[in-house]
Structure 1
Amino acid sequence: MAEQQLGLIADVGGTNIRLELVDMASGERRELRKYLCANYPTIVDAIKQYLSDAGQPAVTHGCIAIACPTNDDWIAMTNHSWAFSVKETQAALGWTALHLINDYTAISMSLPHLKAGQKVQIGGGEVKDGAPIAVFGPGTGLGVAHLANHAGFWMSLPGEGGHVDFAPIDEVDEHILAFLSKKYDHVSVEQLLSGPGIVQMYQAIADMKGEEAKFTDAADISTAGIDGTCPVASATMVQFCKVMGSFGGNLSLTLGTFGGVYIAGGIVPRFIDYLKQSDFRERFEAKGRFRGFNEKVPVFVVTEPQPGLVGAAAYLMQTV
């Protein structure tokens, strides 16, 4: 492979598109830029603007991580107006190859490449090289994926794990389930482990304690809960960490993730020290006869600000 062969990687959300160049020989990334999607009629327009701003580099390959299904040639964004054909986009850009992957596929692909400064470990356990990995990310929703290694190649196993049934463990969990069951026919884990989920947990615990639910914003609840200025918010954050632990432990058991369980998303990196002191790890390991199994599995919070770009680069280099 020629040393100068360049790839373009992008991470596209409903608001912004982040783009970067990657040297496909060395893996070196450079020229990170961010653009508002709304400022460009099509994704091709945004990419061409980036290439112009970056000095018209000779790109041959591309990998775009995008927050929508990527199973077909036609890509239609869930939270933005961009819709396009992968083949037509590749032709318009004149590239040798263009790959579209789901945003959580990209995040999962980043995990084996994260260094110590890009993640923080929660509790014990050691990574077993090449072993399966799990990732989940409380944010607007709850993204979930697994990663498996075959003959030195990493394969992302995406799914809809955030929509599995919520399984209560203690009395507080049981009250939350009963409270949310009045609202939903099916109470998924995402209804608790997400920004909206924090609000719903807070409302359920306020109901349990006979208190008024004063907050309506997840950030306000987490702030008041962690600094101890609101007892209901504090109880909410205690329970949020417990539910995360139970759910993460379930992911570990499902695929034997001795490569680690990773927590991504925009919520948890804001309170890593609090998470370390919480009951997260106890719930993660509290699996009866299989406590010893999960005790060996390490857990990390992803602190890398651009895991989607790291993963898109990893995906692209692996396919060339």
Structure 2
Amino acid sequence: MTRAPNTHSLLADIGGTNTRVALAQGTTLLPDTIRRFRNKDFPGLESVLRRYLDEEGNPDCAGVCVAVAGPVRDGVAEMTNLSWIITKDALARAAQAETVAILNDLQAQGHALGHLSGDSLRPVVRGGDPTPHAAMLVIGVGTGFNCAPVYQTGAGRLVPPSEAGHANMPIRTADELALLHFVETAHGFPAVEDVLSGRGLERIHLWLSTRAGDPVEKGAAEIMAAAEAEDPLALETLRFFVRILGTVTGNLSLIHLPFGGVFLVGGVARAVAPWLERFDFAHGMSDKGRFAGFMQNFPVTVIEDDYAALTGCGHHLAHILPG
């Protein structure tokens, strides 16, 4: 297909496992251009983008914006769970684009809020009615874990980055302390991401089975399938996972005060969404002593749009493109 020059933007969402790439016109994502690539099949992002652009007829893009699962500093992104380093120069070279932006993936999700279809939003905790320009919070649970607050300012939307998944995991109970020591022995540091992620689900399952005297290693997908079949160990794994997710969500809500709502994103968040009510995520979130009532101010929604980060990239890029 022949595309007019400088009428499209190139967007990419780079996770720890897959990269999603698409074209957009202005802020409109073009669904028929969305492609997914397995990261392990490529030496770096530049080769992914070159393959994609070749398949799309090598359009001359006005801009490129990518969302990266890792910290971004001075135009350079280092993937947290993948050995790729991404620079603005490499992106400009691959896309032959004049305007280039690199966001943390949770920043991109933050820029997508308010631009997603209602049928992709799954309410899980009811809260107060959000006031105009109230802060929001995006929490990502997938290959890794992270969060980003979202502020609407007079100069536009501000979504500061963070690496919240690498803070210490919270401890409330003797069981949580035992899990901490299990994680610490294997990895040297008990981070939130070590339990609230796909591999975290696997680690909790291994810890519970080891404690029961019969260590069993299962992948996250296997654990979810076993839970659907009412396997007791898988169900206990999910119960523990949901409880810690509620605790961490409550902690982050107290830090950022997202009266505009908390939004859970990522493949693992979508997978556990049907279990949040059964295992009382809401209680885990609000179990804050004298602040339990105050926690009712923060509604929680799961975003079920797998391409929300691409939408966020499109809106951010449209804001910074000249003219």
Partner of 1:29: 29
- Extract unaligned runs of 5+ from structure 2: 1-5
1:196-252 per-residue CA deviation (whole Å, 9 max, x = no partner) reads 2222222333344x34133432222233234322x2222111111111001001111
- Is this contact kept in 1: 2:49–2:94, CA < 8 A? no
Corresponding position: 1:275 with 2:276: yes
Question: 1:186 and 1:95, CA in 2 relative to 1: closer, same or farther beyond 3 A?
Answer: closer
Deviation at 1:253, TM superposition (A): 0.5
CA RMSD of aligned residues (A): 2.8
Partner of 1:65: 67
Partner of 1:121: 123
Partner of 2:176: 173
Corresponding position: 1:194 with 2:218: no
Question: 1:305 and 1:101, CA in 2 relative to 1: closer, same or farther beyond 3 A?
Answer: same
- Extract unaligned runs of 5+ from structure 1: none
Distance between the aligned counterparts of 1:56 and 1:127, measured in 2?
44
Question: 1:250 and 1:53, CA in 2 relative to 1: closer, same or farther beyond 3 A?
Answer: same
Question: 1:295 and 1:34, CA in 2 relative to 1: closer, same or farther beyond 3 A?
Answer: same
Distance between the aligned counterparts of 1:48 and 1:239, measured in 2?
43
- Is this contact kept in 2: 1:33–1:50, CA < 8 A? no
- Is this contact kept in 2: 1:215–1:221, CA < 8 A? no
Normalised TM-score (structure 2) = 0.84
Corresponding position: 1:146 with 2:149: yes
- Is this contact kept in 2: 1:44–1:89, CA < 8 A? yes
Aligned residue pairs: how many? Answer: 313
Partner of 1:319: 320
Q: How does 1:241-260 map to 2 (within 5 A)?
A: 241-260=242-261
Distance between the aligned counterparts of 1:76 and 1:173, measured in 2?
31
SS at match of 1:158: coil
Q: How does 1:160-309 map to 2 (within 5 A)?
A: 160-208=163-211, 210-229=212-231, 231-309=232-310
More moved, 31-40 vs 237-246: 31-40
Distance between the aligned counterparts of 1:164 and 1:75, measured in 2?
20
Corresponding position: 1:158 with 2:161: yes
Q: Which amino acid aligns with 2:152?
A: N
Q: Which amino acid aligns with 1:10?
A: A
More moved, 42-51 vs 56-65: 42-51
Partner of 2:3: none
SS at match of 1:276: coil
Distance between the aligned counterparts of 2:219 and 2:45, measured in 1?
32
Distance between the aligned counterparts of 1:220 and 1:56, measured in 2?
40
Normalised TM-score (structure 1) = 0.85
Partner of 2:140: 137
Name the % identity: 27
1:173-199 per-residue CA deviation (whole Å, 9 max, x = no partner) reads 233234334445432222211122222
- Is this contact kept in 2: 1:133–1:260, CA < 8 A? yes
